[in-house]
Amino acid sequence: MTVYATSPDGPVNWERMLAQRTRSMQSSAIRELLKITQEPSVISFAGGMPAPELFPVREIEEACSYLLRNEPKSALQYSTTEGHRPLREFLAESMAKYGIQHSPDNILITTGSQQALDLLGKIFIDPDTEILTGSPTYLGAIQAWRAYQAQFITIPLDDKGMQVELLEETLNKMDQMPRFIYVLPNFHNPAGTTLPEERRREVVRIARKYDLIIVEDDPYGALRYEGEDIMPIAAIAPERTIYLGTFSKTLTPGLRIGWIVGPAEIILQLVRAKQGADLHSSTFDQMIANDVAQRGILKVHVKKLRKVYGERRDIMQDAMTEFWPEGSSWTHPEGGLFLWARVPEPINTLEIFKKVVQNKVAYVPGVNFYPHGDGGFNAMRLNFSNAQPEQIVEGIHRLGKVLKAELLTKH
């Protein structure tokens, strides 16, 4: 046995005890940034937080009272890994309206959508396994899968989302099949784009040709402010699509309730992985979400969110038009929580970030969303759901001032 030379009471050499994968884990840039921006005087467009003043608080209180008076023994007890059955039945029914036909048995409740990403990493990703994603892409997915030592093969986005015409060419250049294709079709985080139906069908065609799995991440699908719903990929190719949903944006994120729906074989593997990961998600929170959903409150609440968030998106865009330097541009998302903005070169959104925060406003620099750090230098992600209208205008104004000043110094 190798014995390490340390004094009996000396400092522990933790470094040498860590797993290989631990070296791939990084603290999320967003999370670290959020720490700086938590000061109340900062208007932060950095997070992805819903508007807390809209939480259906009274309805949740009613749900708590109802559950604790009528079903306390089950609401506070251990439950099954798969999740609260009535909630899964509700989800199966409500997804059917979007064309996703799966039974409640094909649904696993997760501790937020982040856990869904983690469990997918756990069952699919070996060290150096390649996965295919758009670029930019969701930061939480990069973080979850990097922890399993995934390699990211990227396809650039345009204003309609992933450029699927490059998919087949990219696949043909790869030595090995990617473990799955990761797609955010609705109101992409961070890009704000929506994948048209033709592109969804093209992803499916290619996935079928090469026998690939599609992971469809859809946290914002219900939050559409204009245009028509587009068929989910899971409705087109139920045999090979793993669909992720969440209550974090439509109800509240603090309850940490998400779900995965997919083919039975894969749900079985995910259930096993979740048993070891946290046994099951909070019984109480699942039953609260179910109660609110079953009483029709969720539907009413989502309608309200659509109205308010749609207005905030417009307010933000109007303020950008008014206050930002010429040459700036941004996506016009049909839903969701985020705008993706580009500012005139040579401004680097990461380089000016400290100055931005000193001016009491914040965003997430675009480069953070590129798995290889090879883009987004003059881009930023802006959240429009969390701040109130007057704050949005003030924050965009502050940002505009920094951007204009920056352009003056650079020229």
User: In the window 124-153, what residues touch its own copies (CB under 8 A)?
Assistant: 124-126, 129, 140, 143-144, 146-148
CA atoms within 13 A of residue 398's CA, in its CB half-sphere: 21
Does the footprint of its own copies cover residue 253 (CB under 8 A)? yes
- Give me the phi and psi of 15, to 5 degrees please: -50, -50
Does the footprint of its own copies cover residue 254 (CB under 8 A)? yes
Q: How far is the CB of 261 from its own copies (least distance, A)?
A: 15
Beta-carbon contacts of residue 251 (< 8 Å; ≥ 6 apart): 56, 257, 289, 292, 293, 298, 301
Instruction: Work out which of 37, 44, 46, 79 binds its own copies, going by CB under 8 A.
Output: 79
Number of residues binding to its own copies, judged by CB under 8 A = 106
Helix, strand, coil share of the chain (percent; to 5): 45, 15, 40
- Nearer to its own copies among residue 126 and residue 228 (C-beta): 126
- Nearer to its own copies among residue 137 and residue 317 (C-beta): 137
Q: For its own copies, which stretch binds (CB under 8 A), given 227-235, 255-263, 291-299, 317-325?
A: 255-263
- Which 321-380 residues touch its own copies, going by CB under 8 A? none
Does the footprint of its own copies cover residue 158 (CB under 8 A)? no
- Which 256-285 residues touch its own copies, going by CB under 8 A? 256, 263, 265-266, 269, 271-273, 275-285
- Which 14-53 residues touch its own copies, going by CB under 8 A? 14, 17-22, 25-28, 31, 47-50, 52-53
- Nearer to its own copies among residue 27 and residue 409 (C-beta): 27
- Give me the phi and psi of 20, to 5 degrees please: -50, -45
Residues forming a β-bridge with 135: 156
- Which 83-112 residues touch its own copies, going by CB under 8 A? 110-112
- Contact of 318 with 363, CB cutoff 8 Å: no
Instruction: Work out which of 88, 102, 179, 301 binds its own copies, going by CB under 8 A.
Output: 179
- Nearer to its own copies among residue 19 and residue 300 (C-beta): 19
DSSP H helical segments within 210-337, as ranges? 233-236, 264-278, 283-294, 297-323
Q: Nearest 5 degrees, angle CA 19-CA 20-CA 23?
A: 100
Instruction: Work out which of 106, 135, 252, 378 binds its own copies, going by CB under 8 A.
Output: 252
- Contact of 337 with 189, CB cutoff 8 Å: yes
- Nearer to its own copies among residue 273 and residue 399 (C-beta): 273
Q: How far is the CB of 105 from its own copies (least distance, A)?
A: 13
Other residues' Cβ atoms within 10 Å of the Cβ of residue 55: 15
- Nearer to its own copies among residue 19 and residue 96 (C-beta): 19
Instruction: Work out which of 42, 75, 203, 347 binds its own copies, going by CB under 8 A.
Output: 75
Other residues' Cβ atoms within 10 Å of the Cβ of residue 374: 10
Asked if residue 72 has a cis previous peptide bond (ω within 30° of 0), the answer is no
- Alpha carbons 230 and 347: distance in angstroms, whole number: 36
- Nearer to its own copies among residue 4 and residue 227 (C-beta): 4
- Alpha carbons 127 and 21: distance in angstroms, whole number: 8
- Nearer to its own copies among residue 9 and residue 228 (C-beta): 9
CA 369 to chain centre: 11
- Which 302-331 residues touch its own copies, going by CB under 8 A? none
Residue window 188-227: x/- pattern of binding to its own copies, with contact defined by CB under 8 A:
--------------------xxxx-x--------------
- Contact of 88 with 82, CB cutoff 8 Å: yes
- Contact of 50 with 386, CB cutoff 8 Å: yes
